[in-house]
Amino acid sequence: MLSVLLKPLLFTVPRRSATATAAVRGMSSSLDSGASTQRMFQLKVDPLTGKAEWVVIEEEEEEIGNQTTPKALLATTSYLDMLNDARRNRAFRQAIDKTVTGPCHVLDIGAGTGLLSMMAARAMGLSESKGSSSLNEMVTACESYLPMVKLMKKVLRANGMDGKIRIINKRSDELDIGVDIPSRADVLVSEILDSELLGEGLIPTLQHAHDKLLIEYPQTVPYRATIYGQVVECTYLWEMHDLVNREAGVSDGICLVPNGMFDLLGIKRQQYAMHCNSMKEEIKLLSEPFKVFDFDFWRRPDSSRETELHIKATNDGTVHAIISWWLLQLDCEGTVFYSTGPDWIHCPSDFKELNSSFPSSGNWCDHWKQSVWFTSSSGLHVFKDEEVRLHAVHTETSISYRFETSQDKKSVTRHDFCIRDCQIVLSPERIALYGDDCWRCLMVNAIGKALRQRVHQLCLVADDSIFLAIAVAHLSKSSHVIPLFPGLGKKGSEYLQRVAAANNYTMDRIEILKKKDLQSTLQDSNQRKISFFVAEPFYYGNDSVLPWQNLRF
């Protein structure tokens, strides 16, 4: 039994539910047939642009000794980490036990493996009853992913709750009263939260639930969520978004962001989930924590709101980022809490008995992190006791910030420049690498050494590396460069054209091709042969535990 998954709750996941290690996010392509191929949900992130998407992959079993076991890809996924989060499980269990105290209709939206549904059923006493649930006391589990629904059924069966919980394989906004569920629910139990809080569609889900699925004044678990923020100075975070000022200090002659084109290359204006505890020693706090927004689960939320915050600086420094987190109040009395705050945020003095629900108790998790919002590249200089104004806005799925300064108004005008239409967006990690003088020097030296071996090179850039394409064109006046740019496409071509003059090359030596056109183009060009092949090495996170097993080229 995989009792380690749900050990604090005395629930188990059966060993044969999609053959153990593929049990939660990875599901069997034939759960009941004993097939040897597993179908996995895996998050794939483009290492250069940072774009992420869910893909379904086939995972073959491998034979170890006399046993056949699936490769343990699930072991490093955030879903399993979430199920092993003892603080989260304990907090939800306590809140559900306080909320579900008698016969009622409980609706679990985004039920997943059925953990919260089982908690509600146990609190209601359904787990001990011999018959099936009735209309007056029932738990409805709503889950849209069919593979997860199949797994949930196995989990319920393994925990003796088969038939105690009504499972519906639909999105919650597809449910109809009288068709899918007999009546509006009295209690909502749901955990559809990401590190930013809103990114998994919390607001539209709550809006539809209050409009169509819940009674007028329902009880909810969680009861309320509060976003907190803190202004910080941190060189590491500055390096991840200020390529303009960092490139001014390099001397390799390559210019990724020429004068007047500072918006040509940058990161997406959004919050990024990061483990801020790991950079705690490099962070200088410039303010006390401040409240940004409250979200009440028990009433219909607004789609968007704005607020202006007046923040008093606690130190002299340069604002590089805003670090934010959320605090869940899970019960209406305010006795059960869960926080995603960093280690330096301690349990409030009023809640000392709840210390185990706060991260300072030593727990570590990967499924929820802190969120980081980067300020403008030039930063904002503050002095101790100075008051700054921060404008915060939330939409249905995200939160954004803007400091109200004259400097910020200038940057808004700059963003209206026509360059924005061909702006290339990269991940913060790639921006940090492109501004690293040491890394650039190593790459330029290696490219220069390779180019000296032949006078007329035909160079293939096999990925989206704009730095390598520019470096080859800049260092060799006779080489011909073919960047494939599989992700950047036309934007990559427009970018190379805009920065050509600043890097001393002409576009007649650059030929953007799609991978499928490469062979035919070379055959039609007097049988040209590629003599120089280049791409950026990178780490493709969470493919396995050991760093050297993550290296890709």
Distance CA 529, CA 131 (A): 74
Give how far Cα 197 sits from Cα of 210, 295, 344, Å.
19, 10, 20
Which is catalytic among the residues 62, 128, 174, 200? Answer: 200
Q: Catalytic residue at 386?
A: no
* φ/ψ of residue 207, rounded to 5: -60, -50
Of the residues 191, 196, 247, 494, which is catalytic?
Answer: 191
Instruction: Provide the pairing of β-strand 185-190 with 105-109.
Output: parallel
Contact 407, 382 (CB under 8 A): no
CA dist 87 and 191 (Å) reads: 14
**3-class secondary-structure state, position 549:** helix
State how far the Cα of 292 lies from the Cα of 307, in Å rounded to an integer: 8
Question: For residue 105, which amino acid is it?
Answer: H
Spatial distance between the Cα atoms of 538 and 239, rounded to a whole number of angstroms: 18
In the annotation, is 200 catalytic? yes
With CA atoms as reference, report the closest residue to 84 among 362, 367, 277: 367
From residue 59, give the alpha-carbon distance in Å to each of 27, 38, 296: 10, 5, 41
Q: How far apart are CA 396 and CA 415, in angstroms?
A: 24
547 upstream amide cis, omega within 30 of 0: no
Beta-bridged to residue 167, according to DSSP, are 141
d(CA 516, CA 497): 23
120: left (phi over 0), alpha (psi -120 to 50) or beta: alpha
* Tokens 């996995």 belong to residue: 40
List, by residue number, the catalytic residues.
191, 200
